[in-house]
Amino acid sequence: MTPARADLAGPGAPGRLPSLTALRFVAALLVFCFHATYENAFRDPDAGARFSQLFSKAGWVGVSFFFVLSGFLLTWSARPHDSARRFWRRRFFKIYPSHLLTALAALALMARAGQPRPGVLRNLLLVQTWTPDVDVILGVNPVSWSLACEALFYLAFPALLPAVRRIRPARLWPCAGALTAAVLCVPPLAGALLPATPHMTWLPVSEQHYWFVFAFPPVRALEFVLGMVMARIVATGRWKGPGTPTATLALAGAPPPPPSRGGAGPAPAPARCARR
């Protein structure tokens, strides 16, 4: 075992972390229910309204959790002596074929329905989230916006991992606290620096605000790096965790970050994202 690997060898590491299985299920369920709020699945309007009120902000929590989890798992399971090229190749073949297949299927359906197809090339290349154009960010296959963020995470991971490993154990919690504070500061920073109007039709923020806070890959990378730091905190034995039941309840009951009209998150919005 190399020194770097030993640094990530907490009790039982790099073995399975059973508590993550339950948390991943809860997070996936939150995202699923969030998307379901757009489908008008209830015949009873009151039931639909209650369901929407309950899950309209669930997407915020679920996606943020998955970004943190991505950094945690990649750091926890990093292979000794792995090269950047081998790592990138594995991530490419794990992610891109399914993205390409679903994008082509979406394009075929959109062409048949006569719908506009903005930003096709950018969507296929997973760079659609680098410009503040929501019609492009959520174009073609809307949920692929998160893959565009993950693409940056994967590209930067071979450089980030040595830097995170160099953090002294005594400084891990302060680093995690600083990253958490940075994440919480992003919305007010965007509110102070970016135009507040015109509002989008489905969210009471401007298009620039939405892009910077929810879709801009370098901003979402803060959560990914937080997950990397948390992996080292667990591996060095500085946090044992609250256990699966407590952690699951905490995730399910976490307060949603920003307010929204009718509930909308960083996941796909209604078919059209026109501005007011």
pTM of the model: 0.79
pLDDT digit string (tens) for 6-61? 555 444 445 566 667 677 788 888 888 887 877 777 777 788 788 887 787 777 78
Least confident among 11-20, 57-66, 187-196, 267-276: 267-276
Rounded Cα gap, residues 188 and 185, in angstroms: 6
Q: CB of 37 within 8 A of CB of 269?
A: no
Res 35: pLDDT: 76
Single-letter amino acid code for the residue at 275 = R
- Backbone phi, psi, residue 272, to 5°: -115, 140
Provide the b/e sequence for 209-230 (b: ≥16 CB within 10 Å). Answer: bbbbbbbbbebbbbbbbbbbbb
pLDDT digit string (tens) for 167-188? 999 999 999 999 999 999 999 9
- Backbone phi, psi, residue 224, to 5°: -60, -45
Single-letter amino acid code for the residue at 217 = P
Rounded Cα gap, residues 109 and 181, in angstroms: 42
